[in-house]
Amino acid sequence: MNREIKKINGDKVKEYLPAAGLVVVILLFTALTGGRMIAPTNLLLIMKQSAMQIIACVGVTFVLAHGNLDFSFGANIAISCAAGAIVGANVSYLLFLPVCILTGILLEVFMCFIHLSCKVPAIVVSWALMFFDQGIMTTLVGKFPMKLPEELVFMDHTWFYIIMAVAVCLIGWYLLDYTRLGKYNKAIGSNIVNARFSGIPVNKFKYLAYVVSGVSVGICAIICMARGRTASTLTASGAAIDVLIAVVLGGMSLGGGTKTRISAGIIGTLMLEFLTNGLTMVGADNNLIGMVKGLIFLTAVIITFDRKAVQVVI
């Protein structure tokens, strides 16, 4: 009985620790910066910088829910930017948005197809696709203009990013917690064998998870182009790692399962942005900021890692 109580209490602590950490970071740097951290203009800046990563976290969460990792996410965003820019410039600017989203879906679904049909671990496929995308991007940048159509420049507004992020979070939360799409993917992540015995069409719902992820890739591409106006080989570089760091900081296990939740990516992203913003305000250099992020990430992994589910060979 005592062990069960301790386990429940421990789970509760892990559940609320990320949110508490976010509050501590905000309060600490509010004090250190004399209140500049929570100035309205600075808060809007943080929200603008957080929007794309929050949207990315929502999409990746569906893939993480069934236990897969996607390291090609950032490279897929870059290719979606390129596809949208090329079609928008040569055909019609009206096609920019749908082409970005469709390209994101196709890339993510293609990765799932290779993973399932060839029975190759998804993480390996994502690494291969990442390098493939980078090669394509390098080729395209030298041959085509990669600019946002002038008719769509109006999207570069803080409130556009915030509204998009809020809408994606609400839709993602509903799909993950209240539909078969989310519930079945979490069941697959908890135990894929039991999921199959329960009659869950595992492959179908993995594909659907990658479709959701692909939509978020496309939306991130739109935001990326709206902010930067152009695409290059550096577009969204490192985005996949940033997303994984954010969800872990938010308290989610990379193994997926029933504890997968949308809030993890939101909390983790905000924690990273407030931390980076605060350290910059107090005069910390980029090297120190990187060291602090790495230390916090390592601590979060140690706290959230499910040692019972994974056997580590030393």
The residue type of 33 is T
In three-state secondary structure terms, 163 is: helix
- The mean pLDDT value for 179-201 works out to 94
Residue 312 has pLDDT above 50, yes or no: no
- The mean pLDDT value for 293-309 works out to 70
Q: At what angle do helices 96-117 and 122-141 cross, to 10 degrees?
A: 140
Residue 234 has pLDDT above 60, yes or no: yes
Residue range 51-102, pLDDT digits in tens: 999 999 999 999 999 999 899 999 999 999 999 999 998 899 999 999 999 9
In three-state secondary structure terms, 230 is: strand
Percentage of the chain exceeding pLDDT 70:
92
- CA geometry: angle 215, 216, 219, nearest 5 deg: 90
53 neighbors 168 (Cβ within 8 angstroms): no
- The mean pLDDT value for 215-230 works out to 94
Domain boundaries defined on the chain: 15-304
Residue 142 has pLDDT above 80, yes or no: no
Residue range 174-187, pLDDT digits in tens: 999 999 999 999 99
62 neighbors 260 (Cβ within 8 angstroms): no
Residue 31 has pLDDT above 50, yes or no: yes
List Cβ neighbours of 85 (8 Å cut-off, separation of 6 or more): 96, 144, 145, 146, 147, 148, 149, 225, 230, 231
Residue range 278-292, pLDDT digits in tens: 999 998 888 888 788
Q: Which residue has the higher pLDDT, 251 or 113?
A: 113
Alpha-carbon distance of 241 to 253, in angstroms, equals 15
- The mean pLDDT value for 99-111 works out to 97
258 neighbors 120 (Cβ within 8 angstroms): no
Residue 179 zone, left/alpha/beta (φ > 0; ψ -120 to 50; rest): beta
Residue 236 has pLDDT above 90, yes or no: no
In this prediction, residue 209 carries a pLDDT of 97
- The mean pLDDT value for 114-138 works out to 93
Alpha-carbon distance of 57 to 247, in angstroms, equals 7
Residue 26 has pLDDT above 70, yes or no: yes
In this prediction, residue 1 carries a pLDDT of 52
In this prediction, residue 294 carries a pLDDT of 79
Q: Please report which residue ranges of 201-285 form alpha helices under DSSP H.
A: 202-228, 239-249, 262-281
Out of 91-100, 245-254, 305-314, least confident range: 305-314
Residue 10 has pLDDT above 60, yes or no: no
Residue 305 has pLDDT above 80, yes or no: no
In this prediction, residue 78 carries a pLDDT of 95
- The mean pLDDT value for 218-244 works out to 90
- The mean pLDDT value for 116-131 works out to 93
> In the predicted model, what is the mean pLDDT of the chain?
89
pLDDT bin (cut points 50, 70, 90) of residue 302 is confident
Q: Class assignment of domain 15-304?
A: mainly alpha
